[in-house]
Structure 1
Amino acid sequence: MGGAERSARKRRQQQSAAARAVTQARGGGGPSRKTIVSVVAVVVLAAVVIGGVIWTNASKNETEGTTITPQTASAALDTADERQGATVVSGKADAKVKLDIWADFLCPYCAQLQQKYGTQIEDQIKAGNVQVTYHMIPLLNNRSDPAGYSLDSANASLCAADQGKFTPFHDSLFASQPEEGKRGYDKAQLIKLGQDLGISAPEFATCVNGGTYNQQLDDALTEVSKAPNFQGTPTVMHNGQVINWTQDGWLTNLVNQAG
């Protein structure tokens, strides 16, 4: 190979190396800017999805391992014989106003009824003016995750009634109501609430764990669902007539009219 040919080849090699250097400097030798942006977007999206799943699961299960706050102010209302089948009757037999209330411990509107009028109702019961028959029905039994909280809580409230603790148990569950579509409270948490309210009889835990009143509650739901004036939960009735509990002063008006 002559010197001229070697010189030409060397120049070509130098030019090729220079071209590669320019290409690499411009980003042509590695991933394109578009590719890098796409990869970053995928990573960010994955992080958002994973974070959303973690947050959703945490939110869904926020009742897990928690203690239901006991409400004890209304404990004096109860008697050990107030449970009548799948209902609980609170108040004197000669009360001039007699109400029936159908409710579900998972129902948010039932919690609103309790929040707005629960104390007034209980005060009228104490005064001897009102008697209430509580029908705690498992209407939303499939609306918790896992399903079954409506029935478990309704059964537990009847078990608490057998121990003379229905009203504080009832009030406590509404005061700490789980969100519909999410986890309710399990049987161990319901038993713990009863114990925190002063229930010491071992029969209470047996009643809760065994679902003693489950069949009666299911039968009551089936029966009331056939009634033409049943409007879901909550339904409030006086002498068989549905009461508009969202109307201000409805309870005071009933008491005054019965006067």
Structure 2
Amino acid sequence: MGANYVTKQPLPASGQNGFAVVELFTSEGCSSCPPADELLGKIQQEYKDKPVYVLAYHVDYWDRMGWKDAYSSAAYTQRQSEYSHLLGSQLYTPQVIVNGEAEFVGSDERTLRETLVHVINGKASANLAITARQINGSLLINYTLTGNYKPAVLRLALVQKKAVRQIKRGENQGRTLTHWQIVRSLNTSTISANGKGKLQLPIPKDFIENEWEVIAMVQDPATAKIYAAAKATLVVNAKDAEQIKK
């Protein structure tokens, strides 16, 4: 038995108009990060019907400072390190990177909003659409990509939309933190020659359909530039639900 999930539009606006992939590098152990996390949540709510794709990576280098972040991963620290190398930036939290090109302090609301306006009003060179189907313990992702995007890879992020955590040690001891758009896994794949393909993502034990989504981006690994992005919101649609019952 499986469940189908689809993007709200067959072809997201990223292939026609501008879009924004907002990547925040954060940690529960960082006392400067909660304002950036709150800003990320605000942006997510305000732009939920626009081509803005929000991702929060919890890095692991704060885990040595007295509190182990439940969502941290060395893979996300590595992703930030790759950005640091390509963009010539320092390794710090909270850091925001937009479309793989602009980087600044994650709590800088003015710069973030100005950057969003700039990139959304621009033009994208490629068009990406994805669908997802849950099959047992994994998600089967179908993608369609057109336009000018080479050379690039496809990155798929499995995202938990929200979580609330009690912090018992470290710089944020005693605080209750709300996290938004938590990246729980990030997978990179080559893109097929015809721009169409299927991939599978394993899902964790705490996966709940309407609390997660899949965000995909097409990125040049040599420059970090992002050509297109799309998402599949994991909510069963009525037509597919009827098919499952039969």
Larger radius of gyration: 1
Superposition TM-score, scaled by structure 2 size: 0.35
Relative to its length, the structure with more strand (as a share) is 2
| Higher RCO, 1 vs 2 (CA within 8 Å, ≥6 residues apart) | 2
Superposition TM-score, scaled by structure 1 size: 0.33
Relative to its length, the structure with more helix (as a share) is 1
